[in-house]
Structure 1
Amino acid sequence: MSASPSPPSGPEQDLRYHTYSSNTIPWYVRLIWLLFWVFAIAYVVRNFVPAIQSELLNPP
């Protein structure tokens, strides 16, 4: 039984099956993120900003 030599391996041969393609984010996922950030900013403005102002003017 004789061992056969391995075929020559170069950079082109190594990268033959490594093809990466980027996936675009669907529009509805972008919409969900946009709605999340709008809600988060509105929540902070509505709840934390008045609380911080009252804490700064009248510290405990």
Structure 2
Amino acid sequence: MEKGYSNEQSEIVRVRKIPEWGEYLRNQWEYNFANHLSHEERKQFIFMILAVA
């Protein structure tokens, strides 16, 4: 388990990486939050997230 830091609350957040879940979680995100976005808008959104991280 890795330690991460939350900028908003200055608390340590534990992060667990589960490689097998990547595709499942991505599909859930698309279904629940990004279903109304076009493919180009999704790519742009993901690019923005990666640029910030």
TM-score with structure 1 setting the length: 0.27
Q: Which structure has the highest helix share of the two? A: 1
Please identify the structure whose Cα radius of gyration is greater. Answer: 1
TM-score with structure 2 setting the length: 0.30
Q: Which structure has the highest strand share of the two? A: 2
